[in-house]
């Protein structure tokens, strides 16, 4: 570190320190390499703070005006790429204040009156995370619309529903797509709820105890779009719940995206052939010319795990800290920045894949009819027509499935005599009914319970969500 750099570092900390930090200490301590992303929020917070100080008579109006103009100059320099970020300035707060003082002189030194870097970073970071909540809601809404379009196109396309990744019962493509609409709706509500909870302004809490200056915290809160100022100065600077809530909501959303990425990988395989992914979201092989790999889905499946890692990392940072501020909390931002970037990339990519994917309708239908998928329909029919207790009907149907497996055929290929050999109550007059119930179309159409897979129910849910999303 040069002599000038040491002098500047000392100026940051006041007269307590006679020499500058060790180079390694400087590398550990500085956050300017990543928290420069908060420049807009930092300048907005400083402008609100300066205006309030002038309104309260703590700053002169001429000083406040010089600060306002100087901050606008700093903003334009950063956005034009002309701003020189230096490691010795430690963080975005000192970088902006140092440059402001170079531009406007003495008034710039007055800006930090009645605040601390503790409440300054708390408000900057909260503003940034609030914006990310809004961006997440927008991205999730776009994906919901993509799933709605798929559901509407295939409300009556029949496909297999799975448990344990084995054929369970026939469902409709539209119903499967709408399951993700419901998941994403919960994700959207979590970000909305988190945003509402974090919308309190910590500016004015100062280092931890508040300030003796007659500040107006309601004024700065309103200027920055917050509902109210935070009510406890200790909590104001110690709190990172807003970041943890964002990461928690992002982690659940990432899990949902990763589940669908996994389905795309499976569905696009030669063994399933349920969907065809466009060339926009696939790659080839350097050696196998026939390959069309679902690389985008696979990459997302891996990348989205970083969000879960970020949540664990920040929980780990915060769990052992006493009130109020500790420098450990500087390690909050990189995790959240990376998680937010990864989430937005995941939402955009998955929305593109959902919009582009083509369902292979005949393959879906063929798969839906395999694996004795209508066995439950047969058991239900035995309950309705013969009055059997469901457990007995379940046993009869299981015996018939075993018989069909032994013969190497499906349930629809068994004769009435073979069925009657398992239960004598099945007779010829039931011929039409028993074989109708074994058809996949009749199976899905019969699921008329609210939230069921029938095309009518699916279309009802599509209409509800289209109305809600506007």
Point out the residues that are catalytic. Answer: 164, 285
Computed from CA positions of residues 203, 43, 99, 71, in that sequence, does the dihedral angle turn out positive or negative?
Answer: negative
Cβ neighbours for 429, distance < 8 A, ≥ 6 positions apart: none
d(CA 313, CA 374): 47
- Is residue 401 within 8 A of residue 409, CB to CB? The reply is no
What is the chain's alpha carbon radius of gyration, rounded to the nearest angstrom?
A: 31
- Is residue 70 within 8 A of residue 104, CB to CB? The reply is yes
For 73, list phi and psi in degrees, rounded to 5: -65, -45
Cβ neighbours for 325, distance < 8 A, ≥ 6 positions apart: 118, 207, 208, 237, 238
Cβ neighbours for 152, distance < 8 A, ≥ 6 positions apart: 174, 459, 462
The DSSP letter of residue 171 is E
Hey, which residues does 162 pair with through a beta bridge? 167
- Is residue 32 within 8 A of residue 193, CB to CB? The reply is no
Residue linked to tokens 């928290």: 35
d(CA 192, CA 81): 34
Task: Dig out the tokens for 113 from the structure.
Answer: 């009156």
What secondary structure does DSSP assign to 415-456, as a single string?
-HHHHHHH-TT--GGGHHHHHHHTSHHHHHHH--STT-SSHH
**Cα dist. 231→52, 64, 156, 198, 294 in Å?**
18, 27, 54, 13, 50
Task: Dig out the tokens for 40 from the structure.
Answer: 């807009």
Residue linked to tokens 């075993």: 402
- Is residue 354 within 8 A of residue 319, CB to CB? The reply is no
**Cα dist. 156→124, 267, 427 in Å?**
50, 19, 32
What secondary structure does DSSP assign to 4-29, as a single string?
HHHHHHHHHH-TT-SSPPPHHHHHHH
């Amino acid at each position: 570190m040069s002599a000038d750099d040491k002098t500047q570092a000392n100026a940051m900390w006041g007269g307590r320190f006679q020499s500058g930090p060790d180079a390694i200490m400087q590398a550990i301590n500085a956050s300017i390499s990543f928290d420069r992303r908060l420049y807009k929020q930092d300048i907005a917070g400083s402008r609100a703070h300066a205006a309030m100080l002038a309104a309260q008579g703590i700053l002169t109006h001429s000083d406040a005006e010089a600060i306002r103009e100087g901050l606008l100059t700093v903003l334009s320099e950063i956005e034009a790429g002309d701003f020189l970020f230096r490691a010795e300035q430690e963080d975005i707060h000192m970088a902006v204040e140092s440059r402001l003082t170079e531009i406007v002189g003495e008034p710039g030194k007055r800006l930090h009156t009645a605040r601390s870097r503790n409440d300054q970073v708390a408000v900057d970071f909260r503003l940034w995370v609030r914006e990310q909540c809004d961006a997440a809601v927008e991205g999730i809404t776009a994906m919901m619309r993509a799933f709605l379009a798929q559901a509407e196109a295939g409300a009556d396309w029949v496909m297999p529903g799975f448990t344990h990744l084995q054929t369970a019962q026939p469902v409709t493509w539209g119903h499967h797509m709408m399951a993700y609409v419901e998941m994403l709706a919960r994700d959207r509500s979590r970000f909305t709820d988190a945003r509402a909870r974090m919308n309190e302004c910590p500016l004015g809490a100062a280092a931890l105890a508040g300030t003796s200056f007659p500040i107006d915290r309601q004024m700065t809160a309103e200027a920055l779009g917050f509902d109210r100022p935070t009510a406890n100065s200790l909590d104001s600077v110690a709190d990172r719940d807003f970041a943890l809530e964002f990461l928690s909501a992002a982690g659940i959303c990432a899990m949902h995206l990763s589940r669908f990425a996994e389905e795309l990988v499976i569905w696009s395989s030669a063994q399933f052939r349920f969907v065809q992914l466009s060339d926009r979201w696939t790659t080839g092989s350097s050696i196998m010319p026939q390959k069309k790999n679902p690389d985008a889905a696979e990459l997302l499946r891996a990348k989205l795990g970083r969000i879960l890692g970020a949540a664990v990392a920040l929980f780990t940072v915060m769990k052992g800290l006493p009130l109020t501020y500790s420098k450990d909390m500087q390690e909050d931002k990189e995790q959240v920045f990376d998680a937010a970037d990864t989430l937005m990339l995941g939402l955009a990519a998955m929305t593109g894949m959902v919009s582009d994917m083509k369902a292979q309708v005949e393959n879906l239908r063929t798969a839906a009819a395999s694996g004795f998928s209508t066995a439950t329909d047969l058991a239900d029919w035995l309950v309705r027509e013969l009055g059997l207790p469901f457990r007995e009907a379940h046993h009869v149907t299981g015996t018939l499935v075993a018989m069909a497996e032994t013969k190497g055929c499906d349930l629809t290929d068994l004769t009435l005599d073979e069925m009657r050999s398992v239960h004598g109550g099945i007779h010829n007059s039931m011929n039409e009914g028993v074989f109708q119930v074994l058809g996949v179309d009749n199976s899905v159409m019969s699921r008329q319970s609210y939230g069921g897979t029938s095309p009518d129910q699916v279309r009802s849910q599509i209409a509800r969500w289209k109305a809600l999303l506007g």
